[in-house]
């Protein structure tokens, strides 16, 4: 499966995703500008992304705990998600998302 | 008042790898002082995921970040390391005799023969909201912590956030400010329910203005804000404000480490794999903050690095002394040091 990620500079990257991996892990492994400080423990919100509107239903709604973590960034939109909470699967083949400014490395 | 401390080793960062370094150094009779920006030991483990299970520590099928920290503290207790919390190392200077002078932001000076940087992802610092030009207002009219409540008396204060810090300071500052607006992106809060209820009472009484939204822009001159612009569902909203307190929690930044003249690789410190020494002899880096080919950012890697670092540190601190490698299982000397023989 593939995921299509627009980074903070507006560059578009087509990344190979692996079934069962977290989307954050794929983005990080490809060296894109994502801090992912806590490594996927749902404890930091530094893998914040905006999911394209056409993919929102397939990705599903964030959990209460994820919403709590999203409180810790200042650039939340209605399509905000933490990429560590989205698992790669065939159902998400072609998933499009954009990295939030708050996910950038220092 | 300034304080001077002389020791064998200063460990910067009291996370799991730093704490275990005190054990390995202690076995070699080396005395440690810790400096950490947090107010307690445990580093990222205790700050970011104290209750989350960790599954890859040898011998522990499962352990939480806090349990691991507590166990490490018990393990190093025989060596009585000393802790200096809630402070940051601002500078490291190499002295003529090869030892080091460290200065903290708490006006302490440490003289030490060896420095071990075990700072994980860097030092924890407040998250800066992504608002254009916010830097020019920081520490003048935008603050990430309340140091002196008096600085807020009679001010028009905007507090942003939905956690305990935002709610606590809303309640504490409300009686002394001129106006107080609490801004949060949603009508649900992560703070203690009692604080949330109290805040809602103050809103009902008209003493606190609660606004749904996010900060979009600041207006002001010479570091002094005069308006905070919010993005709300109804559109842009401008609030008169003389003080802004954003409470978005903490994030890790390399901080002053970047200025210490060490060879870096993408926000990590380059070390060798024999001693885990940096490009400056006598300064070591262990755990997540170091870099070498094949590096894995795992706690267990940091433990291994701490053991090898300690041998090299001993050679610097006691030159010429022959160090006989011993096991804690069989050496009565080591067992005496640990208080078990």
Q: How many CB atoms lie under 10 A from the CB of residue A5?
A: 23
Q: Where are the domains of chain A?
A: 2-103
Q: How far is A14 from chain B (nearest CA, A)?
A: 24
Q: Could you write out the DSSP letters of every residue in B183-242? A: EESSS---S-HHHHHHHHHHHHTTSSEEEESEEEEEEEETTEEEEEEEEETTEEEEEE-S
Conformation bin of residue B78: beta by default, left when phi > 0, alpha when psi is -120 to 50: alpha
DSSP 8-state assignment for residue B298: -
Among residues B195, B226, B248, the one where a domain terminates is B248
Helix (H) or strand (E) holding B35: strand B32-35
Among residues B248, B273, B304, the one where a domain terminates is B248
**B206/B259 same-domain check:** no
Q: How many CB atoms lie under 10 A from the CB of residue B324?
A: 6
Q: What is the CATH number of the domain that holds B22?
A: 3.50.50.60
C-beta separation of A80 from A66 below 8 A? no
Q: Do B48 and A105 touch (CB under 8 A)?
A: no
- Which chain B residues touch A72 with a CB distance below 8 Å? 127, 163, 248-249
Quote the pLDDT of residue A106: 77
Residues of chain A with pLDDT > 70, as a percent, come to 100
Quote the pLDDT of residue B50: 85
Q: Which ipTM value was assigned to this complex?
A: 0.89
pLDDT tens-place string over residues A55-91: 999 999 999 999 999 999 989 999 999 999 999 999 9
- Which chain A residues touch B49 with a CB distance below 8 Å? 38, 41, 43
The C-alpha atoms of residue B320 and residue B26 are separated, in whole angstroms, by 19
- Which chain B residues touch A36 with a CB distance below 8 Å? none
**B7/B120 same-domain check:** yes
Q: Which of B16, B85, B34, B79 is nearest to B306 (CA)?
A: B16
Orientation angle between helical segments B16-27 and B65-76, nearest 10 degrees = 20
The interface residues of chain A toward chain B in range 33-72, judged by CB-CB distance below 8 A, are 35, 37-39, 41, 43-44, 46, 67-68, 70-72
**What is the pairing mode between strands B3-12 and B108-117?**
parallel
Instruction: Look at the domain A2-103 and name its fold.
Output: Ubiquitin-like (UB roll) (3.10.20)
The C-alpha atoms of residue B139 and residue B114 are separated, in whole angstroms, by 34
**B138/B223 same-domain check:** yes
The C-alpha atoms of residue A46 and residue B144 are separated, in whole angstroms, by 18
Quote the pLDDT of residue B86: 93
Among residues B202, B225, B248, the one where a domain terminates is B248
Quote the pLDDT of residue B325: 87
The interface residues of chain A toward chain B in range 83-102, judged by CB-CB distance below 8 A, are 101-102
Q: Which of A60, A52, A62 is nearest to A94 (CA)?
A: A52
For the annotated binding site of B for FAD, the residues are 17, 36, 44, 49, 89, 124, 288, 329
- Which chain B residues touch A67 with a CB distance below 8 Å? 186, 188
**B118/B190 same-domain check:** no
Of A41, A72, A76, nearest to B249 by CB-CB distance is A72
**What is the pairing mode between strands B108-117 and B100-104?**
antiparallel
Quote the pLDDT of residue B49: 82
What's the domain range around B178? Answer: 128-248
The C-alpha atoms of residue B217 and residue B224 are separated, in whole angstroms, by 14
Q: How many CB atoms lie under 10 A from the CB of residue B67?
A: 17
Quote the pLDDT of residue B302: 98
- Which chain A residues touch B254 with a CB distance below 8 Å? 106
**B227/B257 same-domain check:** no
The size of the A-B interface in CB pairs under 8 A is: 59
Domain count, chain B: 2
Of B48, B127, B188, nearest to A43 by CB-CB distance is B48
Q: Tell me the average pLDDT of chain A.
A: 95
**B112/B256 same-domain check:** yes
Q: Do A74 and B214 touch (CB under 8 A)?
A: yes
**B243/B256 same-domain check:** no
Orientation angle between helical segments B193-204 and B164-173, nearest 10 degrees = 40
**B229/B257 same-domain check:** no
Q: What is the mean pLDDT of each run of 10 residues along chain B (341 residues)?
A: 92 98 97 95 87 92 95 97 95 96 96 97 89 94 94 97 96 98 96 96 98 96 97 95 96 90 94 98 97 96 98 95 88 92 86
Task: Return phi, psi of residue A3, to 5°.
Answer: -125, 145
Orientation angle between helical segments B299-317 and B16-27, nearest 10 degrees = 40
**B115/B94 same-domain check:** yes
Q: Do B248 and A38 touch (CB under 8 A)?
A: no
């Amino acid at each position: 499966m593939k995921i299509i990620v627009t980074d903070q500079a507006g560059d578009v990257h087509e990344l190979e995703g692996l079934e069962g991996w977290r989307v954050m892990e794929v983005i990080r492994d490809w060296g894109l500008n994502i801090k992912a400080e806590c490594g996927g423990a749902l404890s930091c919100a530094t893998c914040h992304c905006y999911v394209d509107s056409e993919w929102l239903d397939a990705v599903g709604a964030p959990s209460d705990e994820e919403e709590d973590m999203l409180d810790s960034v200042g650039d939340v939109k209605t399509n905000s998600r933490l990429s560590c909470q989205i698992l790669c699967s065939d159902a998400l083949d072609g998933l499009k998302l954009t990295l939030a400014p708050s996910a950038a490395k220092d | 008042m300034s304080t001077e401390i002389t020791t064998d080793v200063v460990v910067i960062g009291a996370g799991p790898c730093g704490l275990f370094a005190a054990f390995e150094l202690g076995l070699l009779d080396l005395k440690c002082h810790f400096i950490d920006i947090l107010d307690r030991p445990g580093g990222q483990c205790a700050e970011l995921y104290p209750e989350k299970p960790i599954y890859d520590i040898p011998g522990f099928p499962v352990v939480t970040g806090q349990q691991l920290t507590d166990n490490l503290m018990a393990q190093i207790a025989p060596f009585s390391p000393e802790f200096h919390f809630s402070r940051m190392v601002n500078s490291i200077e190499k002295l003529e005799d090869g030892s080091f002078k460290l200065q903290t932001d708490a006006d302490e000076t440490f003289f030490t023969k060896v420095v071990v940087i075990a700072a994980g992802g860097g030092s924890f610092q407040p998250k800066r909201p992504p608002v254009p030009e916010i830097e020019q207002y920081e520490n003048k009219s935008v603050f990430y912590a309340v140091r002196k409540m008096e600085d807020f008396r009679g001010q028009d204060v905007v507090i942003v956030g939905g956690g305990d810090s935002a709610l606590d300071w809303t309640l504490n500052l409300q009686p002394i400010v001129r106006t107080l607006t609490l801004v949060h992106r949603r009508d649900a809060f992560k703070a203690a329910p009692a604080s949330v209820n109290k805040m809602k009472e103050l809103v009902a009484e008209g003493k606190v203005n609660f606004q749904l939204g996010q900060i979009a822009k600041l207006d002001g001159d010479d570091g002094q804000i005069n308006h905070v612009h919010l993005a709300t569902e109804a559109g842009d909203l401008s609030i008169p404000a003389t003080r802004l307190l954003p409470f978005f929690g903490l994030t890790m930044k390399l901080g002053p480490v970047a200025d210490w003249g060490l060879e870096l690789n993408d926000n990590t410190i380059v070390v060798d794999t024999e001693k885990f020494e940096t490009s400056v002899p006598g300064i070591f880096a262990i755990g997540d903050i170091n870099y070498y080919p094949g590096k894995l950012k795992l706690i267990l890697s940091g433990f291994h690095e701490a053991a090898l670092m300690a041998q090299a540190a001993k050679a610097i601190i006691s030159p010429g002394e022959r160090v006989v490698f011993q096991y804690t299982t069989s050496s009565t000397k080591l067992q005496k040091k640990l208080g078990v023989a």
